[in-house]
Structure 1
Amino acid sequence: MPEIILSTLNAKHIHASLGLRYLYANLDELQPRAAIREFTIEPWPIDVAEQLLAEQPRIIGLGVYIWNVERTQQLVTLLKQISPQTLIILGGPEVSHEWQGQPLVEQSDYLITGQGDLAFAQLCRQLLQGERPIQKVIEAPPPPLDALQLPYAHYSDQDIAHRLIYVEASRGCPFKCEFCLSALDKSARPFPRERFMQALEQLYQRGVRHFKFVDRTFNLNPEQSVALLKFFLTRLDEQLFLHFEVIPDHLPERLRAVLKRFPTGSLQLEIGIQSFNPEVQKIISRKQDNDKSRANLHWLRTETQAHLHADLIIGLPGEDMHSFADSFDRLVALAPHEIQVGILKRLKGSPIIRHSEPFRMRYNPAAPYNILCTDRIDFPTMQRLNRFARYWEMIANSGRFPQTLPLLLGEQPFKRFMQLSDWLFANTGQVHRIALKRLFELLYTGSVESLEIDPAAARQTLESDFSRSGIKGRPTFSQPVSPSDADTADRTVRLSTRQARHR
């Protein structure tokens, strides 16, 4: 029976917690007395409590994040009711800042704020020796990276076979974008390269082929970036897939030369644009050369085979609907493979809070603390934008409508997709759980009625996409009809469109 259990509630089973494995790796002599037990947010907290307490641990360490804070609160309440003698230690970004008054913290025994890789082990030593530190909240400074034991050996064979494997070549970020907790970092610090490369080699030899780097600024240090990319080029096979988050305006020639060598399907780059508005960038302390960013995105799209995932944020201070639409249209014109339309969230501790009153920014008080309205975007409009983001994910980012999407967007992507989004919600009242076949049928009717697309053109592109979807049967707009019936149907659609415009 382990005396220490390290646990968290992951968003999905496919995610394997890198943080828990860092804590476990750095327990040193306590490691044989500890175990990792991961769950997801799906099970009832009472069932998780039963499994944790069945092993009769003396200490339970819980990682708290924005996606699991509410479930973790319920879990801790149950644990302390059932087994008050079990010591609960909290850590993680959701409780590292603004923890005062959080019921979750009040019910727990100890809280480690910051990077607890070494502090957790030290606290456990004291507790297992019978010492009870008076100080409940322990502030852990960033540990020297060369003093840490790396966690990668603690990914199990089952993890490697079935879950995402997260790695980090560096910690921290030198930039001060105020919507991000990394704005609190003083700099980015690389792990010792030789040790990290050895760890990557061991993972590779164990069969890992999907590496998701969590570094905030992978291409900040081109020398290290090139070394890592060359490491993988020498081990390239059909299964290898790498994910990196990159700075959009920093792409030196030696890095470009290596990026061009990766074949299709092996490399994904996440590119944070957030906004192309210079005034908004200034307000949130974001340093970004927009001309270089656009040029680099264009180069990556045309000169490499990398899959490009670009990010925009709705609700930034100083940004109105027109400004966001302009950024969206500029980004669509650069043709990244995906555009992640995110809603601003007020992460605990992030400097964005200083703009709350000047820009009348109001946030959801419950996780994930999403923006509800600002002085530029009222609540009903923000709701429309939320639906826009959801439908964009469903239609554009799904990759299921490659032929139809250009027809939908035309020359005014934001305006037209917002128009379609409004139509979809008005006619379905849904932003989730729309069956794929029904979505095809809705897009046909919506594109004709809302966007006034020629019915024959809409039918042609949707049939082309449908044939690739693997769905059995045929959508209603594709059912064989006689020429006279087809002409009648098209006249009916045109009449319906005119009536809709009149209404």
Structure 2
Amino acid sequence: MTILLSTLNARYAHASLGLRYLLANMGALQEQTRLAEFVIGAKTTDIVERLLAHRPRIIGFGVYIWNVEETTRVVAMLKRVAPQVVLVLGGPEVSFESSEQGIVQLADYLVTGWGDVTFPKLCGEILHGPKPLMKVHVGVQPPMADIKLPYALYTEQDIAHRTLYVEASRGCPFKCEFCLSALDKTAWPFGLDSFLAELEALHARGARLFKFVDRTFNLNIKTSLKIMQFFLDKIAADPADPVYAHFELVPDHLPDALKEGIAKFPPGALQFEIGIQSFNPDVQALVSRRQDNAKAADNIGWLCEHSHAHLHVDLIAGLPGEDIDSFARGFDRLVALKPHEIQFGILKRLRGTPIIRHTEQYKMVFDPYPPYTILSTSLIDFASMQRLVRFARYWDLVANSGRFANTLGQMLGDAPFNNFMAFSDWLYAKTDATHRIALDKLAALVAQWLQARGMSKDAAGALVGSDYAGRVDAPAQKAKPVAVPVRQARHLAA
């Protein structure tokens, strides 16, 4: 009576925290439960063959925005070749608006929301009776102390080769309408002592890279300081054995005590993901986002100037009420603060989020297929939105990659958004591509752009060559490698 817990991760390095929570809380059924993780892009027939090799009675799938289309194909094939296998779905993509989804219609059961208690109970009823009568089971949220933590289930292979996702809390007290956390009532912490004991055990097993998926790591400063002190103690014990931690910060909440702790971390040990999303107060009010913009900007500036933390700061284009000029002003303001990465995101309509209430007034048109990206609004037409999409892609290639650190400032000048948009339009006209642009070709194109803007051929080649020793039209100097932490996938916990 094997029970399989399966999902298609965005990439191999992303070990599913949600599946491990389910496995940890299977109780008496844990001994007959197995994990079966895959990666998007794998052949459907290969996945189905490997799943059925376990001879499962039940397969539970974690369904997310990035894997729902491929998981639908897997579920459909399983229903054709092995109709006797009971298929149970869960995860954020199927927890809302489920009645209209093809994958839900194909499956036998659905668990919405928290699955820690409800999924094991459902499996017990499927295996031992009485047979569940309802298809949809609303997840019961247990007391946090009743949830068994899953970190011992990370294998030696996971520790050696994958990002380890951890969380000191679940939920979020804020109500930003573009985020699924807008549906949470608050943030619920796990017991700090037991959580730190789990971190200690992971570290003792060799774990050195930890990604916190908490939405608001710095909500409770006392807790934040204790967790940071855990990492500082490990660094102090052996500075030659580096530890790396990633946290998401509320941008306008950085008291002096937290600054003092952050300032103690050495280079390469700390990354912060900071969601600004918009600097426009009217847009923030529309989407129920509370943010002190001046304080948030001051805090980002302080982190850049007085800490060694790597900063990954988010902006979202396509929010209701924001036109390109407003977004450009926010982008330029953020560039002036000099974070290491600016994640230029395009709004997506996550199922269940309240952003949908603005659809009619702001003529918001979303792609009907995952990841449900905004296509146009009353203030940004489809063609302009596509220009923004290309800008975001090229910004990743040129700016966030860290490969053009010396050249970027020259490209941006005193009008970063407008100048990079001009480069983006030019690059697309030259290549008709946004992907599969070889690095040496990109470097040569950047040099050509600088020449088109009035720089001499030799000067452009030398500037690009100072960043990238490749095939450009002028002699290139060997660039010193730029250490940029790998961007992590967002919030993979179920």
For this structure pair, what is the TM-score category when the shorter chain's length is used for normalisation? over 0.9
Whether contact under 8 Å (1:444, 1:477) holds in the other structure is no
Cα distance in 1 for partners of 2:465, 2:33 equals: 56
Whether contact under 8 Å (1:244, 1:269) holds in the other structure is yes
Whether contact under 8 Å (1:92, 1:114) holds in the other structure is yes
What's the RMSD between the two structures over aligned residues? 1.2
What whole-Å deviation, never above 9, does each CA across 1:16-55 have from its counterpart, x for those lacking one?
0000000000001111111001001121111101110111
Aligned equivalent of 1:483: none
2:257 to 254, 257, 282: 254
Aligned equivalent of 1:223: 222
**Offset at 1:406?**
0.3
Aligned equivalent of 1:158: 157
Cα distance in 2 for partners of 1:367, 1:255 equals: 38
Aligned-partner residue type, residue 153 of structure 2: H
Cα distance in 1 for partners of 2:80, 2:138 equals: 27
Aligned equivalent of 2:398: 395
**Offset at 1:460?**
2.4
Which has the higher mean CA deviation after the structures are superposed, 211-220 or 46-55?
Answer: 46-55
Larger radius of gyration: 1
Verify: 1:114 aligned to 2:113, yes or no: yes
Cα pair distance change 1:479/1:222, threshold 3 Å: closer
What whole-Å deviation, never above 9, does each CA across 1:118-148 have from its counterpart, x for those lacking one?
1000001111104321111001132211001
Verify: 1:354 aligned to 2:345, yes or no: no
**Offset at 1:3?**
1.2
Verify: 1:301 aligned to 2:304, yes or no: yes
What whole-Å deviation, never above 9, does each CA across 1:243-301 have from its counterpart, x for those lacking one?
00000000011111100000000000000000100000000000000000011001000
Cα distance in 2 for partners of 1:452, 1:170 equals: 53
Aligned equivalent of 2:485: none
Cα distance in 2 for partners of 1:331, 1:32 equals: 51
Whether contact under 8 Å (2:117, 2:140) holds in the other structure is no
**Offset at 1:456?**
4.1
How many pairs are equivalent? 473
Verify: 1:316 aligned to 2:319, yes or no: yes
Cα distance in 2 for partners of 1:153, 1:422 equals: 49
Cα distance in 1 for partners of 2:273, 2:81 equals: 44
Whether contact under 8 Å (2:111, 2:138) holds in the other structure is yes
Verify: 1:329 aligned to 2:328, yes or no: no
Verify: 1:189 aligned to 2:191, yes or no: no
Aligned equivalent of 1:497: none
Verify: 1:49 aligned to 2:51, yes or no: no
**Offset at 1:454?**
4.4
Cα pair distance change 1:479/1:69, threshold 3 Å: closer
Aligned equivalent of 1:373: 376
Aligned equivalent of 1:140: 139
What whole-Å deviation, never above 9, does each CA across 1:387-435 have from its counterpart, x for those lacking one?
0000000000000001000000000000000000000000000111111
1:478 to 460, 472, 475: 475
Whether contact under 8 Å (1:363, 1:369) holds in the other structure is yes
Aligned equivalent of 1:464: 466
Aligned-partner residue type, residue 144 of structure 1: P
Aligned equivalent of 1:499: none
Q: Post-superposition, which runs of at least 4 consecutive aligned residues in structure 1 deviate over 3 A?
A: 451-457, 477-480
Aligned equivalent of 1:174: 173
Aligned equivalent of 1:487: none
> Which stretches in structure 2 are left out of the alignment for 5+ residues?
478-494
Aligned equivalent of 2:30: 31
Aligned equivalent of 1:266: 269
Aligned-partner residue type, residue 352 of structure 1: I
1:383 to 386, 401, 424: 386
Verify: 1:99 aligned to 2:98, yes or no: yes
Aligned equivalent of 2:343: 340
Verify: 1:11 aligned to 2:10, yes or no: yes
What whole-Å deviation, never above 9, does each CA across 1:77-105 have from its counterpart, x for those lacking one?
00010111100000000000000121100
Whether contact under 8 Å (1:444, 1:462) holds in the other structure is yes
Aligned equivalent of 1:78: 77
Cα distance in 2 for partners of 1:141, 1:55 equals: 29
Q: Work out the percentage of aligned pairs sharing the same amino acid.
A: 55
Aligned equivalent of 1:452: 454
Q: Which structure is richer in relative contact order (CA contacts within 8 A, separation 6 or more)?
A: 2
Aligned equivalent of 1:284: 287
Whether contact under 8 Å (1:441, 1:477) holds in the other structure is no
